[in-house]
Structure 1
Amino acid sequence: MKSAATVPQFCEGHNISRTHFYELIKQGKAPRLMKVGRRTLISQEAAAEWRRRIEAETAAEQVTA
């Protein structure tokens, strides 16, 4: 991934649908977004932070299950 990705690029790179991505936004679980003009982008750092957070949540759920 480049230094920032569009929503479709992020979704493709993380193998999730755009519908699921927008559900994550509604749930407050999406990566940090930035607006550049009319474009919505996700920085490489925000994507990495999001992956770490999702992995931690998954690990915590597995421990309690």
Structure 2
Amino acid sequence: MATDTATKQMADTTDQTGEFDAYSIAEFCRRHSISLQMFYKLKDQGLMPLTFRVGTRVLVSKEAAAAWRREREADALEETSGE
């Protein structure tokens, strides 16, 4: 029975596509094909998405990840149009 409850709770944290509403740092990196080292290097430069804590976990919301991608795309567009 405990497994059924845990499965139901996990299902409640996903959207209609079955994706989670927030990603761990490792999941974010995997989804965006970057290394953990690159994540922390860019985070130190202020170039990573906002994160938040839940207990000891550090998460990136789906919305923050999408905003980060838009910012990176805008930066890339600026760089190419400025050449």
TM-score (norm 2): 0.76
2:55 is matched with which residue: 30, 34, 37? 37
Which has the bigger relative contact order, CA under 8 A and spacing at least 6? Answer: 1
Q: Which runs of 4+ in 1 moved over 3 A?
A: none
Partners of 1:59 and 1:23 lie apart in 2 by 22
Secondary structure at the aligned position of 1:51 is classed as helix
Q: Percent of pairs identical after alignment?
A: 42
What TM-score comes out, normalization by structure 1 length?
A: 0.96
Residue 46 of structure 1: CA displacement?
A: 0.3
Residues 14-45 of structure 1, C-alpha deviation per residue, up to 9 Å, x if partnerless?
A: 00000000011110011010011100000000
Unaligned runs of 5+ in 2: 1-18
What do residues 3-22 of structure 1 show as CA deviations (whole Å, max 9, x unaligned)? 00000000000000000000
Q: CA RMSD for the aligned pairs?
A: 0.7
Q: Secondary structure at the match of 2:49?
A: coil
User: Paired residue for 2:69?
Assistant: 51
Give the whole-Å Cα distance in 2 for the aligned partners of 1:41 and 1:53. 19
Tell me the equivalent position of 1:7.
25
